[in-house]
Structure 1
């Protein structure tokens, strides 16, 4: 783990006083490492930073305080606003001069995507990838693009790159959009789709109404409110749990697809693993299962349905009450 951390983040990071620290200890003793991607000019980042700092301080004071570290990776281009922003952070950070060559999720996705691209081409599918760079220099772009077998928008065409980011409302990287032949979005979740389908059996990855919550798709919880049904970890528990929420999930997806809109709610089934345990801890949820919840991370709110038995009718009633704003939120 230490070698992987050093490979992704480099051998040295900075602390809140901007003093150099070694990154290798992050991979020891079963620690979890949270990579926080953000920037100083985003109001939502500033709001989230304050919330994360509060959680971080409380967590560090607990019995497992040494089991988590946060590393901030900025998309700022200027030193002064970056310096002022990181001054508010109690965790570690990647030095600004290292940012343009360090985007661990980008590198990880690219390695998988190269193999995915090869497999889809061998399947005879009509498919192409176009890389839209967020690199800060043409030299960095050329070095990174050299690893890719597909096409790219020229780095010098900044207007086109900016227009694409604007048109598709790109909020962060890496983002992998899948478009159909008419240019309509098949899915915005190309990244978790690719990572969860190494054999490309589900290409072109049309969105599923109900997903199993995994490390690769958990970031979707931050995009919009999400219904999460927590169940026991046994494999046989997942399919019955999916059937409980499938009817209302399909109904909502169909209604909004007809309007060419994104659904207002995502649907997940979560088992028992380290990631799910961390999610329960972060949202202050009980350890009981099954447990029916709606998590709204952007509003730092949760909704919990405390019933002895969960049925499709109860799930639909719970969802409709949320969508019509009849539920009282609890703070996360």
Structure 2
């Protein structure tokens, strides 16, 4: 499979995100006019949510007293259960809102910014680029907006210039300068960490000689310095000084650490390659794929993480003959590289982190491709969280069915096949412009006369 991230960041991005008009009190205003030149905060919230009701008055106070004058506008994106509740809640707010009726756009925004719960406050720059997805923490720590617009410090500034080596020997910046770094967030009290650390240490020792430009830095979540000393004594790499809790927390925030153990890989330019490096020792035991940039095409059998973070094309073809598999891969490779290069140029990489339910269902799809009716032809599905959320049909337990499409024959038609499915939907039509309903085909490519491809049983 491969990712096709959204790399649009410019003024028109605000219109693309919110539509032509926003709600302002009981009136509507033009999105392009009210957001032009503004730092924009997207506030995901709902009246039924107690933490939201606690945070909203504070945000409103900070906005009116400080943020608005500094050049910020806020757009409320409602998770209320009805328009009446939305109207009552929005009446308490001094900013703009996405029209409640535009549920599809609300769903798209939640998906784009990977909203896991509310309240969530995402802050965008004047060009539409993401400043931080954890705006709630940023504004809570800075009610007066002294650090507005809360742009995170660059990695090379956060990593600092003081480290400790074995025996707690002091080290300077030369220990990390010009190297790809693995930030290892871990703690001795964490059972999964204690299970993973010996494996990581064994792999590190095996590849370090051939990878002189690679270093691991331990960022401890131990509860006291004694535990840190005991745990670090088992490790062959370097560490952040335990006393520098502020630096550890800043790096944890930068890497979006939500649990431990986490191994984040950072390139020489300070850009995050992946925050899911735990699988690297098993996937690349000899370090031959260093520095582990995302591949244009991934093997679903081994790598499922991140498949639901942005639109992804998944081709189920493991049961096909080798000639067919090679032809499909060759057709997909240049398409995948094109999307990857565009994403790289704009600084956007799909986050490495998955959704347990989707991964399970994709695993079922994978097995079906090997043993089921699609094993000779191959089938494709578009994987993205928003697609599952919009799917009306389900398996009886509220879980969406995953629709499959037979890939084109010959694979040379893959470029059109992919572009059609990645083209933005026309909300008024409920489909992508220029698309017609696909013809259902049998595994050998023959048309069956049905306008729809069969869903996964």
1:243-280 deviation per Cα after TM superposition (whole angstroms, max 9, x unaligned): 232121100001111122225999xxxxxxx9964356
Partner residue of 2:424?
324
Structure 1 residue 143: Cα displacement: 4.3
Rounded Cα–Cα distance in structure 2 between residues aligned with 1:275 and 1:109: 27
Match of 1:201 in 2: 288
Find the counterpart in structure 2 of residue 292 from structure 1: 380
Residue 262 of structure 1 is matched in structure 2 by 349
Name the residue aligned to 2:217.
130
The 8 Å contact of residues 328 and 411 in structure 2, kept in 1 or not, is answered as: no
Which structure is larger by alpha-carbon Rg, 1 or 2?
A: 2
What RMSD, in angstroms, separates the aligned Cα atoms of the two structures? 4.1
Displacement of 1:175 in angstroms is: 3.0
Distance of aligned partners of 1:177 and 1:107 in 2 relative to their CA distance in 1, 3 Å threshold? same
| Shift in alpha-carbon separation, 1:116–1:310, aligned structure 2, 3 A | farther
Q: Is the 8 A contact 1:221 1:295 kept in 2?
A: yes
Compared with structure 1, are the counterparts of its residues 197 and 108 closer, same or farther at alpha carbon in structure 2 (3 Å cutoff)? farther
Aligned to 2:337: 250
- Preserved CA contact (<8 Å) 1:132 1:152: yes
SS at match of 1:211: coil
Match of 1:226 in 2: 312
Q: Which runs of 5+ in 2 are unaligned?
A: 1-113, 119-186, 354-359, 390-401, 433-454
Query: Aligned pair in 2 of structure 1 residues 201, 303: CA closer, same or farther (>3 Å)?
Result: same
Structure 1 residues 231 and 111: CA distance shift in structure 2, 3 A: farther
The corresponding residue for 1:44 is: 116
Give the structure 1 partner of residue 264 of structure 2. Answer: 177
CA spacing shift, 1:193–1:323, aligned 2, 3 Å: farther
- Give the 5 Å matches for 1:50-61: none
Higher relative contact order (CA 8 A, sep 6+): 2
Q: Give the match's secondary structure for 1:178.
A: strand
Q: After TM superposition, give the deviation of residue 153 of structure 1 in Å.
A: 1.8
For 1:248 and 1:168, the matched residues in 2 are separated by 29
CA distance in 2, matches of 1:219, 1:314: 24
- Classify 1:315/1:287 alpha carbon distance in 2 versus 1 (closer, same or farther; 3 Å): farther
How far has the Cα of 1:163 moved from its partner? 0.6
| 1:186–1:206 CA contact under 8 A, matched in 2 | yes
SS in 1 for 2:418: helix
Distance 2:221 2:419 in 1: 38
Say which is worse superposed, 181-190 or 204-213, in terms of deviation. 181-190
Tell me which residue corresponds to 1:313: 413
Deviations 1:83-131 (A, max 9, x none): xxxxxxxxxxxxxxxx973443x44543332233223322262221111
* Among candidates 217, 220, 243, match of residue 156 of structure 1: 243
Runs of at least 4 residues off by over 6 Å: 329-332
Contact 1:177–1:187 (CA<8 Å) still a contact in 2? yes
Aligned mates of 1:136, 1:228 — CA distance in 2: 43
Normalising by structure 1, report the TM-score. 0.55
